[in-house]
Amino acid sequence: MSLTAQDIDRIANLARLELPPEEGQRMLDQINGFFSIVDAMRAVDTTGVKPLPHPIATIQEMALRLRDDVASEPNQREANQQSAPAVERGLFLVPKVIE
């Protein structure tokens, strides 16, 4: 399984990463290097095997815990926004969002 430069462009866009051409090329080579060891994995016969999303699911029932519907978080806007790059009147500022 080999990725192409187009794959790199597409994924970089999906992941919102700007990759200058040399970096993109390096990334392509390294990721392809990695995928060469992945082939063995793809060949494994996993018919009838259920995926294991939670490691402990094999030994106990993992069910989502539900909390009571209580609004107990106080307003901590100032503390929460202390590391924000751009804030005005309590709003996070970003370049204009065009619909």
- Nearest 5 degrees, angle CA 25-CA 31-CA 51? 150
How many other CB atoms are there within 10 angstroms of residue 28's CB atom? 18
Q: How far is the CB of 2 from another protein (least distance, A)?
A: 12
- Tell me whether residue 21 or residue 40 sits nearer to another protein (CB atom): 40
Q: How far is the CB of 61 from another protein (least distance, A)?
A: 8
- Tell me whether residue 21 or residue 42 sits nearer to another protein (CB atom): 42
Query: Which token pair is 76?
Result: 């901590």
- Tell me whether residue 21 or residue 72 sits nearer to another protein (CB atom): 72
**8 Å CB contact between 38 and 54:** no
Q: How far is the CB of 21 from another protein (least distance, A)?
A: 13
Q: Can you name the residues that pair with 87 across neighbouring β-strands?
A: 92
